[in-house]
Amino acid sequence: MTTHVLDSIDPIVLGHQLMVARKVRGLTQQAVAEALGISRASIIALEKGDRRPRPGELVHLAALYERQVGDLVRLVALQPQESFVVHFRAARTPGRQGYDERREADIRAFEDLCRDYVELERITGSPLPRRYPELYNIAHADADAAADEVAASERQRLGLGDGPIGDLWGLLETDVGLRVFAQRFTDTRIAGLFVFTEAYGGCISVNARHPEDRRRWTAAHEYAHFLTDRYRAEITILPTYRRVPESERFADAFARHFLMPASGLTRRFQAMRRSKEGPITPADVLALCQLYQVSFAALILRLEELRLISSGSWDRLKDAGFKVTEARALLDLPAASRTLPMLPLRFEALAVQAFTNEEISQERLARLLRLEPVDARERVHELAHGMFFADGELYQLPLDFGTELTPAVR
């Protein structure tokens, strides 16, 4: 890194990157100043862009923030963009006033994930296709009726019919073009985040601390915001007894209709009823939960709404001490077959491709994958070798990421 290169970089943009990197590491300006042996005022000046960092300072800062110098000054990082934090500060958060540093750190980590994803796409020449629909206009419409209409339209557009959605994560990424992550938010009441920017497109993060059925519901909820009001960031808080805004009522209703469409659920429920000699039991409902990958409460309330079971069934079960977790264990129901990791599989595959093509270093690979170097190399091995069952035996098939799969144009 030379002084000439630093002189060519906008100090305000670089200062913003340094501030983001510091906050992601959870360091105060004073702690950084002491580590560098300079005053806190100097750190403030660097982050505001009032002065440029010296080459030695930038190297020291990069090490302190566990980044490479190139990570701080690479092209994609230097594009002047409005921070996610700015978007989310204007977001309405029912049941929560104020804005704290922990939430800001979660949002900045979310932005880092999106930035890294776009950078990997730039390095590998593999942009995520955006298959976005036009915004749905739900102004002045009843929330539930509008949710039913939008969910049906999206299911038709995506070719889903009225059946359960298996790989929701793959659907949102591949068929729509959304970036979806799972983060361990410091505030466990936060279910999810949604933001849209021109640089990153639609981005969703769900709380990795929540069970998979809650994450799926949250993703569908955030998808509803993307479909109707994508230019406003949203922070979704777990339900409270406070009055729920109309936009949140619509988003929850959309999740209900999108994940459990009335026609398909009614048909499956009636088929199950006909196949039984006795009445429908909680065990039958749990089997449907497994199929639709939603919570027991969500499904039984949906069945009540469709008048397939008697009203108040969920309340009566709760009053009787029914424990969903214990019931699932007794029935030996398997866990969800496709859970959402922090990083999408496509993100990891692009990182491995960039590494195997020697476009990024092993250290940078580890930082991108949020793993220790040894674990990162192991992940490379896992992703570079597809594992298949054949004749009852497991074997590995080497996968060359550079292999051309489409015929050459003649």
Whether residue 72 contacts residue 58, with contact meaning beta carbons closer than 8 Å, is answered with: yes
Are 112 and 47 in the same domain?
no
Neighbours of 1 (CB within 10 A): 16
Are 186 and 311 in the same domain?
no
| Phi, psi at 402, each rounded to 5° | -90, 0
Are 188 and 141 in the same domain?
yes
Within-domain flag for 118: yes
Are 243 and 167 in the same domain?
yes
Are 98 and 240 in the same domain?
yes
Are 198 and 313 in the same domain?
no
Within-domain flag for 351: yes
Within-domain flag for 366: yes
What are the DSSP calls for 205-260, one per residue?
EEETTS-HHHHHHHHHHHHHHHHHHTTS-EEEEPP-SSPPPHHHHHHHHHHHHHHS
Report CA 277 to chain centroid distance, whole Å: 43
Output the domain CATH number for residue 25.
1.10.260.40
Q: Which of 274, 304, 331 is the last residue in one of the domains?
A: 331
Q: Which of 331, 355, 380 is the last residue in one of the domains?
A: 331
Are 136 and 215 in the same domain?
yes
Are 224 and 248 in the same domain?
yes
Within-domain flag for 337: no
Within-domain flag for 408: no
Are 5 and 127 in the same domain?
no
Q: Which residues of 341-376 are buried (b: 16+ CB within 10 A; e: fewer)?
A: ebbbebbbbbbbbbbbeeebeeebbbbbbebeeeeb
Q: State the Cα–Cα distance between residues 266 and 321, nearest whole angstrom.
A: 27
Are 73 and 86 in the same domain?
no
Within-domain flag for 407: no
Are 159 and 298 in the same domain?
no
Q: State the Cα–Cα distance between residues 214 and 201, nearest whole angstrom.
A: 24
Show the tokens assigned to 409.
């144009």
Distance between terminal CA atoms of the chain?
45
Print pLDDT tens along the chain (410 aa). Answer: 444 456 666 677 778 778 877 876 778 899 999 999 999 999 998 888 888 888 888 889 988 887 777 767 764 444 545 678 777 766 655 444 445 778 888 888 999 999 999 989 988 888 999 999 999 999 888 999 999 999 999 999 999 999 999 899 999 999 999 999 999 998 888 899 999 988 899 999 999 999 999 999 999 999 999 999 988 888 888 765 456 788 889 999 999 999 999 999 999 999 999 998 888 899 999 999 999 999 999 999 999 999 999 999 999 998 999 988 888 888 877 766 566 788 998 999 999 989 988 888 898 999 999 999 899 998 888 887 654 333 334 344 444 555 555 555 55
Dihedral over Cα of 66, 201, 207, 172: its sign: negative
What interhelical angle do 324-331 and 282-292 show, nearest 10?
A: 90
Q: Which of 235, 259, 283 is the last residue in one of the domains?
A: 259
Q: State the Cα–Cα distance between residues 177 and 129, nearest whole angstrom.
A: 6
* pTM beyond 0.95: no
Number of domains in the chain: 4
Within-domain flag for 167: yes
Domain ranges, residue 105:
81-259
Within-domain flag for 406: no
Q: State the Cα–Cα distance between residues 138 and 74, nearest whole angstrom.
A: 41
Are 287 and 272 in the same domain?
yes
